[in-house]
Chain A
Amino acid sequence: MLENYKQNGGFDEMLDGSGATRAHYRKFRSLLEEIAPDDFSQRRRSVDLSFLRQGITFNVYGDEKGAEKIFPFDLIPRIIPAGEWEFLERGLTQRITALNLFLHDIYHDQKILKDGVIPPFYVLSGKHFRREFVNFKVPQNIHIHLCGTDLIRGPAGQWMVLEDNGRCPSGVSYLLENRRAMKRSFPGMFGAIGVQPVEHYPQELLKMLQYIAPGGVADPVVVLLTPGSHNSAYFEHTYLARQMGIEIVEGRDLMVQDDCVFMRTTKGLRQVHVIYRRIDDDFLDPTVFRRDSALGVPGIIRAYRQGNVSLANSIGTGIADDKAMYYFVPRIIKYYLGQDPVIQNVPTWLASEEADRKYILENLEKLVVKAANESGGYGMLMGPKATREEIAKFRGLIASDPRNYIAQPMILLSQHPTEVAGQFEGRHIDLRPYIIYGEKITIVPSGLTRVALRKGSLVVNSSQGGGSKDTWVLYGEE
């Protein structure tokens, strides 16, 4: 089936430079050859249908009919050998440890600022830096409990961190559902190849949430707070709540009395101790943050401050995934851990640094420009693919608000065989592993591999025509 598949520049995940299959793809490839093409497309159709039936869909903002789309799923898995995964695990653990120490520091003594490692301007001007929480001690001293770090591989196969998502990273339900779909489609392959399981994610998540409960609560009530059924990630919210066996609540289901949070049940009020919130800081409490938020719970921040309820993630973690702060992460790691980063950053220029800004403005057509606090592929300029007008627009944006922009070189992401209209072609991919920071740091051996389905495209976001793949981490090297 893959005999016509070719390398076409860049780093190919399956084929090495000479066109031979890499060791960790060999077993999969030979098992795939045993499946007839018709049979393969049959399985593909049945997976699509099952996703649609299960309602594993996302809502597209701006689509008037509120149409739900299935997140396109490609049946060829991305495979990572054990040794490489250990490297990634080490790098991600180092990174989340450092980011947590950083958050603790900037919300307390601010040593890193006083020691001159990071100019205070960048932290204090951050849109997601919450002055209100300076000197607030978060439960168990953990700020980022859940992180979805986006990793990419460059032309030489080198792994790099593209961004840290330390607010409300989404997508883990697709990881879990993709695996289920693959197990149904290719039941024989898993035993034969030796793929590490991912099913324990919900248990690990629940364990972490229980761990951060306010002290002295023996059997904490944990809930998931969703913005509601019209949110694009609503499927994921219900999915995770169901897998953990906890209630999924909306803001209107909760209320605060005597600095404690309660949910409204048919039997009266019931106290809530831990909230896995999938609502951004801004919308969490209309009495503290955005006054117009109809999603939040008035008084919830006060209950949080009094230590009567715990939140995951904590308030104000967004400063750590501000794209300007990303630039400083290697220094953050060095400062708190005395180590060099295991996984490198993508080279980055900060528009608010004069020399960098000059370089950016002179090279806009070669660079990728990103707004510091946007996500999902919005607010971005892909210089080499942009029109003159787009470049001119960003030139203006950068000049008027340099703090809000960074630039990076356009990196040719690694490519992976992907089914396109019955053929297999190379498409660019990234990887988002999901990190849980509780009593210990847990990373399920897998991640969401997102794939840019359009030929040559480097944008993998689901809102921009991306799809996904299952990600197999092997027990061994092949």
Chain B
Amino acid sequence: MLSRVANSLYWMSRYIERADNTARLVDTSLQLLLDIRNLDEQHLANQWLPIVQAAGDEEAFSKLHPKATGAAVTEFLVFQPENPNSIVQCISQARENARMARDQISIELWEELNRLYLFVRSAEARQIWKQSPSDFFSEIKAASMHLTGIAYATLLQNEGWWFTQAGRFLERADKTSRILDVRHQSLPAKGLPGAISQTEALEWAAILRSCSAWDAYKSLYGADVHPVRVTQFLMLSEDFPRSIRFCAAQLNTALRKISGVPEGRFVNDAERHAGRLLAELQFTTAEEIFERGLHPFVDDLQIKFNRIGDALFEAYFFLSFAAQGEADFVQQEEQQQQGAPHLANDRSGWLVGKPDAPCDANTRFCH
């Protein structure tokens, strides 16, 4: 597969996953605010700023908006064209990448992605957003799931497929870790957190909802929401498809499918880092994470995700083969010209510009 196309497939699915996660995050935050009373400006900012941080775009945000109000944050994360990670921009980028890899994906996948693109850029989307943000996010989330389903149901599970899987799970691991980190300020810097207030319980439940993990969590732990269990679940669950460990395992599988190298070995840095990350998550407990502090642990994870992404780029997308220098070609070309036989450019005998014969009769039939 062409490196450029592999790169496009990888980014296509990363951007779809990114749009989906941002939609979940903003949607849940808006819902959460409905349940919290007595919010002054400072409290509101305390609610919204972490959301921007979770999306990883604090710097870009503060350049565009002086205050972290609900309206500013949602506009920034959903529509803002200047934010390359706004939902609309993510979907546009996903589509642009799909266009570059159009010959590698199914018509069904392309049409759905194109439909989503046309939708988010339409006046109708703004209208729905104004009337009910929740309906708008439902549309984005449903489309994203639809896209994932179509991909599973229609794409050839060849090399390209495993690049989309790598992109999807690396992005998802990154976003789950950021969402999990949203409330780190209410936690002790190090050590296990104690009992939490009702508002805090709502906030941690919102984190679970942002990862579509509420039902799964309840079935394991009941309705009692506690940061340690939430972390245990979103970070270390072996079975939940949005947990970081699950994502790391899927990423690992995808990388091995691409290279054909068995477990326990590696041929490039992407595999080495991904394998090490998986092992770490397999043999870590929630208590250990809190001993270090959730926030530093998540920070460290993000560095690892970036490292894997960079290594992937080095290994597959950026092939620096030494091409022959252009100057050589130019020189060869010039020599070729000198050796070229002369052509019949002898114009003697030709009166240039004078019709040498009457025009063909058969071409002059409708003056």
A residues sitting closer than 8 Å to B (CB atoms) are 52-55, 110, 113-114, 116, 119-121, 124, 131-132, 134-135, 154, 229, 234, 238, 241-242, 247-250, 252-253, 255-257, 262-269, 285-288, 298-299, 301-302, 305, 327, 330-331, 340-341, 344-348, 352-356, 402, 409, 411
Contacts and interface: CB of A to CB of B under 8 A. Distances in A.
Given A55-B99, A114-B344, A255 B321 contact: yes
A255 B330 contact: no
Contacts of A263: 2
Contacts of A132: 336-337, 340
A337 B321 CA distance: 50
Interface string B325-353: 01001101100110011011111001011
B333 A287 contact: yes
A53 B365 contact: no
B118 A298 contact: no
B103 A241 contact: yes
Given A114-B344, A255-B323, A331-B360, A301 B333 contact: yes
A55 B365 contact: no
Interface stretch (B12-20, B109-117, B242-250, B293-301): B109-117
B256 to A, nearest CB: 14
Contacts of A257: 321, 323-324
B326 A298 contact: yes
B345 to A, nearest CB: 6
B257 to A, nearest CB: 12
Contacts of B319: 264, 268-269
A124 B320 CA distance: 42
A241 B324 CA distance: 28
The 10 closest A-B pairs by CB, nearest first: A287-B329, A238-B102, A110-B344, A255-B323, A242-B103, A353-B355, A299-B329, A266-B316, A345-B363, A134-B343
Interface in B250-265: 258
Contact of B344 (A113, A229, A250, A354): A113
A163 to B, nearest CB: 14
Nearest to B344: A110
A443 B359 CA distance: 30
Contact of B3 (A265, A301, A340): A265
B306 to A, nearest CB: 21
Nearest to B326: A298
Given A53-B114, A302-B333, A266 B159 contact: yes
A287 B326 contact: yes
19 contacts: A53-B111, A110-B344, A116-B356, A120-B347, A134-B343, A238-B99, A238-B103, A264-B2, A265-B2, A266-B2, A266-B258, A302-B329, A347-B359, A348-B359, A353-B355, A354-B353, A354-B355, A356-B355, A402-B353
B1 A266 contact: yes
Contacts of B200: none
A177 to B, nearest CB: 11
A327 B114 CA distance: 45
B6 A248 contact: no
B100 interface: yes
* Max count, chain A CB within 10 A of own CB: residue among B329, B346, B364, B365: B329
Contacts of B5: 247
Nearest to A297: B323
B311 to A, nearest CB: 14
Contacts of A355: 355
Given A264-B3, A344-B365, A354-B353, A256 B107 contact: no
A340 B360 CA distance: 11
A229 to B, nearest CB: 5
Given A345-B363, A354-B355, A409-B366, A110 B343 contact: yes
Contacts of B350: 119-121
A256 B322 CA distance: 10
Contacts of B356: 116, 119
Contacts of A287: 326, 329-330, 333
B316 A256 contact: no
B354 A353 contact: yes
B349 to A, nearest CB: 8
User: Chain A: interface secondary structure?
Assistant: mixed
Contacts of B114: 53-55
A299 B5 CA distance: 23
Contacts of A330: 360, 362-363
Nearest to A55: B114
Interface residues of B, number: 54
B229 interface: no
A250 B3 CA distance: 11
Contacts of B341: 134-135
Given A121-B352, A256-B324, A134 B367 contact: no
Contact of A286 (B3, B326, B344, B353): B326
A260 to B, nearest CB: 11
B304 interface: no
A248 B99 CA distance: 11
A256 B333 contact: no
A120 B118 contact: no
Given A256-B323, A347-B363, 20 more contacts: A110-B343, A114-B344, A119-B356, A120-B344, A132-B336, A134-B340, A238-B102, A241-B103, A252-B4, A256-B329, A266-B316, A266-B317, A287-B329, A299-B323, A305-B336, A327-B359, A344-B362, A347-B365, A354-B354, A354-B355
Interface string B184-215: 00000000000000000000000000000000
A253 B2 contact: yes
Contacts of A305: 336
A247 B103 CA distance: 8
A285 B332 CA distance: 13
Interface in B106-133: 107, 110-111, 114-115, 118
A229 B329 contact: no
Contacts of B269: none
Contacts of A346: 363
A160 B176 CA distance: 66
Given A54-B110, A229-B96, A341-B362, A135 B353 contact: no
Nearest to A244: B103
A154 B364 CA distance: 13
Nearest to A285: B329
Contacts of B352: 119, 121
Given A54-B114, A113-B344, A287-B329, A353 B353 contact: yes
Contacts of A347: 359, 363-367
Given A299-B324, A344-B362, A229 B100 contact: yes
Contact of A154 (B110, B337, B366): B366
Contacts of B332: 302
B5 to A, nearest CB: 8
A255 B4 CA distance: 13
Interface string B261-301: 00000000000000000000000000000000000000000
A189 B61 CA distance: 58
Nearest to A234: B99
Contact of A124 (B115, B317, B323, B345): B345
Contacts of A238: 99, 102-103
A268 B341 CA distance: 39
Contacts of B365: 344, 347
Given A330-B360, A353-B354, A355-B355, A264 B321 contact: yes
